[in-house]
């Protein structure tokens, strides 16, 4: 009987186009194999003769990391069998067709994510085997698999939180929320490689590469590493934060349109942090990385967000008798808004009931286990005040729940509590609505309704856990006896008489109403009201006063009166930050009692608006004419205007045009052709920045049809 020829491998087809489509990774390209764990994929192997299961033995070896090891879960060896066995690496369901072999491989739903090499070892009988390389693949988390810790059982949510490569960040102020379009671009071809480059530059990897790799099966671990690596405070992280106002050594955080340019710059420069980021940039880049890795992720904005360093659940702010908001030596602050992420996962490290959305915050505010990272903190745990649960839950709880105490500062000390707000922090918590460009308010997932019995009892529970049983929750309680919280005989309100636009005078109305009060039953009341306007900073602080005003009022019982207040453009012209926010504050002092009360109004100045029109049907590879119009509605020219266009699937990278100076009351019209690259829903982002106004933004949703067959 003739001896059968040794089985030799002649060809390999990783079937990337077919596998990538089945694994929802086709948007990353079809040339290389990109898989999600916990799901079958198929290969076709060509040999010199037909495979004979009785005598030929085939085993596969999959390896990842610097020193692959079965013990660490970074190496797997598995035989070709006819049936699959549970949640383990396996090769099964093979079919033989002449000299070719079609085989299904399965990766477990708890496998380490990352780039793998795949090899095959062929042997006959007891003889030595011969090893052949089959190629490489990338393995990602799989939110489509019920066995994966990131499983999200809704196709609509998966399309939004994994597949959508553009979205919005909500910025500004709780009363004037602006939607800021952002190009996440997680499927641009090189982004997946940059994501693993980020993991490989972390301090955990540099300290112990094999151990770090072995923990990359755990979504909690990977999220914490990414949270630390998006900022550069401890490591070669992606972004350097800058909350000053000098961005001359880099790019202003307001001038980024998306994550792709940031990630590419970081990679191209060998891991040098990109200048500069603030919270919405950090969170948007983290959203790109996590969606790319396969973790459902969204961007969250919290308006009036507390940064409570001493964990006493109280933020103190101070005004002097001239209504000027004073700087404080404390690190505590109230951001106008703060932006973080939520990632969807099962929390096996917590008691039951805390799965689902988890807060992760890559903005470097304070350290966690020695590094500047934050989370994952269960949103459910925050709502229930379970601040003892990992990770960083007390910090996030305070961001949305701290109390605000406003003091009158006189004679070098805080003398009077003007306001104690239990509901002014953690407002309008927002994210993009699923399948829509609208904003969704998700405040109720973070806390019970303000003032409800549930909300106050959760606050007391969290206070006891954070402060211990013997400490009071706030430093102002000993002043409660001073009568600081009695009502006032007058009600004061500031409101805008017209929409405030940058470059125009701001017109306010002060409404004064005399109300009944036991200490002032009848008779006139005299009060002096001192006003102050200051540029409001993103971090909640203010600049030097830019306008002051004083008025004396005599009020008879039952009367209501209004006074106009004019804040001229010349007063604020060069005094504001790029956010164009003004805080107008007034302190009213009652002559009879010497007591004071505070009235506040924050103003957001509207920038000019741009419009974007697309004339015809969009199709892959076919010219698409775009019309962009900007009218300078201001009374001043806009100098050094630059336009940046971005949009994954529409533009490769960015298009940058210098537009020069746009005179006051003039209009500029720009026409250009785009050649869409990918079919499906896309978003074009347009940013025009100038010396005077940094952020004139617009966007256009565009549905791109596939190229027609010629």
The pLDDT of residue 481 is 35
The pLDDT of residue 625 is 96
Decide which of 583, 604, 625 is a domain's last residue. Answer: 604
Does residue 18 lie within any of the structural domains?
yes
The pLDDT of residue 522 is 65
Residue 383 maps to which CATH number? 3.90.260.10
**Cα-based angle 41, 45, 49 (whole degrees, multiple of 5):** 150
Does residue 470 lie within any of the structural domains?
no
**Residue 472 reports pLDDT greater than 80:** no
How many CA atoms within 13 Å lie on the side-chain side of 612? 19
List beta partners, residue 510.
494, 563
pLDDT digits (tens, 9 = 90+) for 426-466: 999 999 999 999 999 999 999 999 989 999 899 999 999 99
Confidence of residue 1 (pLDDT cuts 50, 70, 90): very low
**Cα-based angle 222, 226, 231 (whole degrees, multiple of 5):** 160
Are residue 498 and residue 626 in the same domain, yes or no?
no
The residue range of the domain holding 173 is 155-465
pLDDT digits (tens, 9 = 90+) for 544-567: 999 999 999 888 777 888 999 999
**Residue 415 reports pLDDT greater than 90:** no
- Catalytic annotation, residues: 279, 338, 361
Residues of the chain with pLDDT > 90, as a percent, come to 79
403 is in an annotated binding site: yes
pLDDT digits (tens, 9 = 90+) for 340-369: 999 999 999 999 999 999 999 999 887 667
How many CA atoms within 13 Å lie on the side-chain side of 279? 24
450 is in an annotated binding site: yes
**Residue 57 reports pLDDT greater than 80:** yes
Are residue 621 and residue 600 in the same domain, yes or no?
no
Decide which of 114, 140, 166 is a domain's last residue. Answer: 140
Residue 25 maps to which CATH number? 2.60.40.10
Does residue 542 lie within any of the structural domains?
yes
Are residue 577 and residue 658 in the same domain, yes or no?
no
The pLDDT of residue 521 is 56
Of 71-80, 195-204, 480-489, 495-504, the poorest mean pLDDT is in 480-489
**Residue 484 reports pLDDT greater than 50:** no
**Residue 469 reports pLDDT greater than 70:** no
For the chain, what is the mean pLDDT?
92
Average pLDDT of the segment spanning 140-161: 98
For the chain, the farthest-separated pair of C-alpha atoms sits apart, in whole angstroms, at 123
Domain count, the chain: 4
Of 86-90, 316-320, 553-557, the poorest mean pLDDT is in 553-557
Q: How far is CA 305 from CA 320, 329, 377, 388, 425, in A?
A: 23, 19, 16, 21, 6
pLDDT digits (tens, 9 = 90+) for 663-696: 999 999 999 999 999 999 999 999 999 998 888 9
The residue ranking higher by pLDDT, 630 or 523, is: 630
Highest mean predicted confidence (pLDDT) among 19-33, 483-497, 578-592: 19-33
Cα-atom radius of gyration of the chain, to the nearest Å?
30
**Residue 708 reports pLDDT greater than 60:** yes
Q: How far is 524 from 502, CA to CA, in rounded Å?
A: 40
Structure tokens at 462: 């969290």
Does residue 277 lie within any of the structural domains?
yes
Q: How far is CA 426 from CA 38, 399, 449, 534, 591, in A?
A: 39, 7, 11, 23, 36
Are residue 271 and residue 191 in the same domain, yes or no?
yes
Q: How far is 246 from 234, CA to CA, in rounded Å?
A: 22
Residues of the chain with pLDDT > 70, as a percent, come to 96
Does residue 549 lie within any of the structural domains?
yes
Are residue 460 and residue 590 in the same domain, yes or no?
no
Decide which of 82, 111, 140 is a domain's last residue. Answer: 140
The whole model's pTM is what? 0.95
């Amino acid at each position: 009987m003739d001896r059968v020829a040794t089985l030799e491998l002649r060809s390999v087809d990783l079937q990337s186009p077919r596998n990538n489509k089945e694994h929802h990774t086709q948007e990353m390209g079809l040339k290389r194999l990109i898989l999600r764990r916990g799901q079958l994929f198929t290969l076709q192997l060509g040999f010199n003769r037909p495979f004979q299961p009785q005598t030929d033995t085939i085993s596969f070896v999959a390896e990842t990391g610097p020193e692959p090891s079965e013990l660490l879960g970074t190496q797997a060896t598995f035989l070709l069998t006819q049936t699959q066995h549970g949640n383990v690496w396996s090769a099964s369901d093979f079919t033989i067709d002449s000299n070719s072999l079609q085989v299904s491989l399965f990766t477990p739903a708890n496998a380490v994510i990352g780039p793998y090499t795949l090899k095959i070892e062929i042997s006959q009988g007891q003889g030595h085997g011969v090893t052949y390389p089959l190629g490489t693949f990338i393995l990602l988390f799989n939110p489509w698999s019920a066995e994966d810790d990131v499983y999200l059982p809704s196709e609509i949510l998966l399309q939004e939180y994994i597949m959508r490569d553009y979205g919005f960040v909500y910025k500004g102020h709780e009363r004037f929320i602006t939607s800021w379009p952002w190009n996440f671009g997680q499927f641009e071809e090189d982004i997946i490689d940059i994501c693993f480059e980020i993991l490989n530059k972390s301090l955990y990897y540099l300290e112990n590469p094999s151990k770090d790799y072995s923990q990359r099966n755990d979504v909690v671990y990977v999220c914490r590493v990414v949270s630390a690596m998006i900022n550069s405070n401890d490591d070669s992280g992606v972004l350097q934060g800058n909350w000053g106002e000098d961005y001359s050594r880099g790019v202003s955080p307001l001038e980024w349109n998306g994550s792709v340019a940031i990630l590419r710059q970081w990679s191209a420069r060998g891991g040098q942090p990109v200048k500069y980021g603030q919270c919405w940039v950090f969170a948007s880049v983290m959203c790109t990385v996590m969606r790319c890795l396969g973790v459902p992720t969204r961007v969250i904005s919290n308006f009036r967000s507390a940064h409570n360093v001493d964990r006493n659940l109280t933020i103190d702010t101070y005004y002097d008798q001239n209504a000027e908001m004073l700087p404080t030596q404390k690190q505590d602050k109230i951001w106008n808004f703060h932006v973080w992420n939520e990632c969807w996962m099962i929390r096996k490290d917590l008691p039951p009931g805390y799965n689902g959305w988890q807060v992760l915050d890559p903005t470097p505010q304070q350290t966690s286990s020695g590094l500047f990272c934050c989370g994952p903190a269960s949103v459910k745990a925050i709502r229930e005040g379970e601040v003892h649960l990992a990770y960083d839950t007390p910090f996030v709880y305070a961001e949305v729940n701290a109390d605000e105490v406003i003091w009158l500062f006189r004679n070098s000390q805080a003398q009077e509590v003007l306001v104690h707000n239990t509901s002014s922090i953690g407002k309008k918590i927002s994210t993009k609505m699923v399948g829509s460009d609208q904003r969704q308010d998700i405040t109720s997932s973070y806390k019970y309704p303000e003032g409800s019995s549930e909300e106050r009892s959760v606050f007391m529970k969290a206070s006891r856990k954070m402060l211990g049983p013997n400490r009071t929750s706030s430093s102002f309680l000993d002043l409660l006896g001073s009568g600081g919280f009695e009502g006032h005989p007058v009600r004061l309100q500031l409101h805008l008489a017209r929409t405030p636009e940058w470059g125009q005078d701001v017109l306010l109305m002060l409404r004064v109403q005399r109300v009944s009060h036991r200490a002032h039953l009848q008779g006139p009341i005299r009060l002096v009201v001192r006003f102050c306007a200051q540029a409001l900073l993103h971090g909640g602080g203010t600049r030097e006063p830019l306008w002051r005003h004083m008025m004396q009022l005599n009020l008879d019982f039952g009367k209501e009166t209004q006074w106009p207040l004019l804040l001229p453009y010349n007063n604020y012209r060069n005094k504001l930050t790029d956010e164009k926010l003004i805080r107008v504050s007034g302190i009213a002092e009652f002559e009879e009692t010497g007591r004071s009360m505070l009235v506040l109004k924050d103003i957001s100045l509207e920038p000019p608006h741009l419009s974007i029109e697309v004339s015809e049907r969009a199709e892959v590879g076919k010219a698409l004419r775009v019309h962009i119009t900007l009218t300078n509605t201001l009374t001043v020219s806009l100098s050094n205007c630059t336009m940046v266009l971005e949009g994954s699937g529409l533009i490769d990278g960015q298009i940058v045009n210098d537009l020069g100076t746009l005179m006051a009351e003039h209009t500029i019209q720009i026409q250009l052709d785009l050649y869409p690259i990918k079919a499906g829903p896309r978003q074009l982002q347009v940013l025009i920045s100038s010396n005077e106004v940094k952020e004139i933004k617009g966007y256009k949703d565009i549905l791109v049809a596939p190229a027609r067959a010629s």
